Structures are given as structure tokens and as C-alpha cells.
């Protein structure tokens, strides 16, 4: 599983990254977590507002900091 957190490095983006990592630890799953801060790369994804969250190449959330519980739910749908 590949999970990308897309953001400019702001506090909300870092908080989402922390929540993703905590979720992975709690679920005890293998995932490659990538933090993308390059604006050109972010724009290529089509995300209009950061922070953004992608799982296995699919945009699952943007413009908000998902809770650990919300991230768990998003992962379970994959």
C-alpha cells in the first residue's frame, strides 16, 4: 500500500502526516508513506486544497486533517 500526504509543509499537513503514521502503527500494516511538498507534484495530482491524502494513487481526501479513525475507515475501503 502506498499512502501520500500532499502539502506545503504547514502545521495541518504535518498533523495529517502524523495521523497517517499513527494509523499505520495501530493497524500494524505495511505501507509506504510519502510526504509530498513539491507544489508542481501536488498540482499534477489534481488536488486543489491541501492537505491532501492519496491511497494507492487515488485521491481520498483533501482540504482537511483527517482523524486517525477517518484514515482507518479510508484504508478499510481499499
Q: Rounded to an integer, what distance in angstroms lies between the CA atom of residue 2 and that of residue 10?
A: 22
Rounded Cα distance between 76 and 44, Å, is 26
Would you call 23 a catalytic residue per the annotation?
no
* In contact, 53 and 71? CB cutoff 8 Å: yes
Does residue 50 contact residue 59 with C-beta atoms inside 8 Å?
no
Q: Which of 13, 20, 55, 60 is catalytic?
A: 13
* Residue from 10, 34, 39, 48 carrying the catalytic annotation: 10
Instruction: State the catalytic residues.
Output: 10, 13
Amino acid at each position: 500500500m502506498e499512502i501520500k500526504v500532499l502539502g506545503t509543509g504547514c502545521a495541518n499537513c504535518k498533523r495529517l502526516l502524523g495521523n497517517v503514521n499513527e494509523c499505520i502503527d495501530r493497524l500494524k500494516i505495511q505501507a509506504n508513506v510519502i510526504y509530498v511538498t513539491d507544489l508542481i507534484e501536488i498540482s499534477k495530482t489534481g488536488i486543489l486544497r491541501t492537505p491532501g491524502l492519496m491511497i494507492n494513487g487515488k485521491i481520498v481526501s483533501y482540504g482537511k486533517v483527517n482523524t486517525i479513525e477517518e484514515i482507518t475507515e479510508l484504508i478499510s475501503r481499499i
